[in-house]
Amino acid sequence: MSVRRGVPVKTFYRVALSALGLMFASRSASAAVIDDLSEVDRLRLAMGTSIVRTQDIPGSSWPAVSVYQLVRATPEVAMADFTDYNLQSTYLKECCGLLTSTVVDSAVGGDRRVQRVLYEIEVPVVSNERYELREEMSREGRSYRVVWGKVSEGGRSESIFGRAMFEPYNGKTLFYYYNFTKITTMGAGIFSGESVKRTQRTVVAMAKHMEQQATSGGGRLRENLARVRAALGQ
């Protein structure tokens, strides 16, 4: 199986880990996301505040961004809604500028855990950004994870890598979202602050949608749960 034509999977992950550095690669599989947060941050989470952290990455005009958010839904429901990529642009367009989110391959190489998704993002002043991500889901105990990376060529972003984690916490789900978009285009640095704010708005809007799905249920949520369970062999 290959990530894209001519790019083997092992090469893809070697580049990904290099781009993310030790922050991404060294986390123990058994380490809980909540352990990253101080008691003060945990109190802020409980009050409904999202926790945002940034990390400057050498060679990029934009920082890596981490967002922590509590969601009133189970980790499985949160994961099922998050990976309904075709739906994302319907609730992230107005707040976050996501114009298109289309699954172009729902089982890359025949693996239902892995999807390839086309995105189009509205970018101020200049033309919109279009790219494809390879998104792979997994489960670790009662927690769920999605890891993604850019697999298309072109555009202003040299690379995109990130992950989302959904862990049970005090009867809710701790939603952790990490994304690094390497931008080196001249002048891109002036939009650095807005990129961080947009990432936070995206996570908040996603959490709200997860809670709405958990409350209302319905056929689409049942289909998404069935899709995740089948893909992960549950």
Give me the DSSP letters along 13-34: HHHHHHHH-HHHHS--TT--GG
- Residue 162 Cα distances to 17, 23, 42, 51, 67, angstroms: 10, 11, 23, 17, 12
pLDDT of residue 123: 78
Q: Percentage of residues in the chain with pLDDT exceeding 70?
A: 82
Examine the pLDDT at 133 and tell me if it is beyond 80.
yes
Count of domains forming the chain: 1
Owner of token pair 């089948």: 230
- Residue 192 Cα distances to 10, 39, 63, 153, angstroms: 31, 29, 7, 22
CATH number at residue 81: 3.30.530.20
Where is 220: in which H helix or E strand? helix 219-231
pLDDT of residue 30: 52
Supply the range of the domain harboring residue 151.
2-231
Q: Residue range 119-146: average pLDDT?
A: 91
pLDDT of residue 126: 66
**Tokens standing for residue 173:** 């789900």
pLDDT of residue 69: 98
Examine the pLDDT at 99 and tell me if it is beyond 90.
yes
